Amino acid sequence: MGHSHPHAFQFFQPRVREGLVCASRRNFLKASLAGLAGLTVPALLEQRANALTPDPSPSGRGGLVPRPTGKSVILLWMAGGPSHIDTWDMKPDRPAENRGPFSPIATRLPGVRICEYLPKQAAMLEKFTILRSMDCRHSNHEPNMVMQTANLEAEPRTNPQARDYPAIGSIVAKHHGPNHPSMPAYAAFMRSRSHLAFAGWLGRQYDPFMAQQAATLPIYDLVGGDTGQTTNPSLFQLPAGITLDRIHERRALVEAFDGIRSEMDTNGSMAAMDRYGQQAVEMITSRRAENAFDLSREPAAIRERYGSHLWCQQALLARRLVEAGVAFVTLDLSYHTASGTWDTHGDNIPPYGGIWNGLRPLLPLFDHLVTTLVGDLDQRSLLDDVLVIAMGEFGRTPLLGTQGSTDGRNHWPVVMSMCLAGGGFRHGQVIGATEADGGSIKERRVTPGDLAATIYHHMGVPLNTHYLDPTGRPRPIIDSGSVIRELL
């Protein structure tokens, strides 16, 4: 009743009785599906936009619902664990087997010195904070979970439930949402699934959107060689004969059947399918996401400034994505699909190598990438809204020569260094210090929980927020931690 126009479910003939004149399950389903056809696409999109709005109550349910803040995060994930002693916490007065092969250089901050292969960052260090005392003792890699979830129990090699702890980006996706309803909340350029944390107990609908599926990017081999080929994404390409109107009709049909099946769903998969389906329709019809992923729309001078390297192209796309409304973007800075390109054991298996052959070629590239990104955000007056974080999962051993090499360093989760920029925080400083050999924290211990609290503070996610695991047990998004006070 009430429909004066034909719709996609007319062929169901929902009001025509079949066979015996009785109320059958089939007729009930047909009538139900026909009723759902009355929902217009704008109404569905409005409902989803409202559903994505964060809820400040500790349980994530009820209460006043604030709108997204416009804030965002770009995480430069240095998969494998960069050596702190050879980057941001150099020890030039130590013996060679401790200090490594690189020399320190002066920076814009008086008395602060960093690696000679980071000259661009040294020249604009007033826009960065170097954190030299991050405690990552519970962290491991493959999968890389603890630092990306801020939960010390999220270590899959020792805890079977580790993969269930949600990524910080997934928490942001749920409790902040995207800054524009046509964009995903959490996106990632992923080289290997083992390099990222996912949504876990939050449900698959908060997993990262795989951004590499939507962009034309150069293809690099496992050791960092440019193959000369590019990807050919088809996410925004419609098959021949498919119109936008037909997409809306088919989407409505899928939603109707999903609604029937969702009552039997126990793990959130149906909700994820529904959410991604709606997101796909929005992305195709609005063209906002398609334009954000299209680097040809970027001025040639800006593309040249970033450069043609795969990681730099992804950094430029990350800037375009946060500008278009994505709230959290992770860049998996790795060529290798195993433990990660920054895993410089020195075992002479490319691309790992040691400090000289493995790390040295990465640093000028990273230096260009991070300073170009931060400088671009600053020029666009976006830097106060976008928090840029560069880190891996741990540091490296104080002594060189691991695994029979001359200059390799093993995993060292006792301490690591990292850097931050933007987000409206106070920068131009060094936080924390290590002992003389760089092997342990000397002052101002910072935990993964402290880092997560800082991110949530920036994104407007209340620190007392929690979620429910499948048993109904409330799980806090931060077990322990507070905003890094020096940044405020």
Residue in the block written with tokens 């989803």: 48
pLDDT on residue 60: 43
pLDDT for 377 equals 98
Sole residue written with tokens 């449900």: 203
Which one-letter DSSP state was computed for residue 83?
-
- 210: exposed, middle or buried (C-beta count within 10 Å: 0-12, 13-18, 19+)? middle
* Mean pLDDT per 10-residue section of the chain, whose length is 488 residues: 42 45 48 41 41 42 52 97 98 96 97 98 98 95 91 87 94 96 95 94 94 93 94 69 53 54 54 58 71 94 97 98 97 94 85 89 98 98 98 97 89 97 98 98 98 98 94 92 97
Q: For residue 271, with 0-12 CB atoms within 10 Å meaning exposed, 13-18 middle and 19 or more buried, which class applies?
A: middle
pTM for the structure as a whole: 0.81
CA distances to 44, 57, 279, 363, 467 from 61, in Å = 21, 6, 22, 45, 10
**pLDDT score for 18:** 45
pLDDT of residue 348: 72
How many angstroms separate the CA atoms of 286 and 221, rounded? 34
pLDDT at 62: 37
Distances (CA, A) of 92 to 87, 104, 417: 12, 7, 16
Half-sphere exposure of 122 (CA within 13 A, CB side): 19
- The answer to whether 450 and 484 are in contact (CB under 8 A) is yes
Residue 352, pLDDT score? 76
Q: Is 72 helix (H, G, I), strand (E, B) or coil?
A: strand
Distance CA 45, CA 288 (A): 15
* Residue keyed to tokens 């730099």: 312
Burial 439-452 (b: 16+ CB within 10 A, else e): bebeeeebbbbbbb
**Cα gap 445→434, rounded to integer Å:** 9
pLDDT value at residue 240:
54
- Give DSSP secondary structure letters for 214-227: GS--EEE-TTS-EE
Residue 252: the pLDDT is: 58
Residue 446 is given by DSSP the state: B
- The region that residue 339 occupies, defined by phi over 0 for left and psi between -120 and 50 for alpha, beta otherwise, is alpha
Q: Would you state the pLDDT for residue 155?
A: 87
Which whole-number Å values give the CA distances from 178 to 215, 224, 236, 396, in the listed order?
19, 32, 19, 36
Distances (CA, A) of 189 to 195, 211, 381: 10, 5, 24
Q: Closest Cα to residue 71, out of 314, 320, 323?
A: 323
CA dist 112 and 119 (Å) reads 13
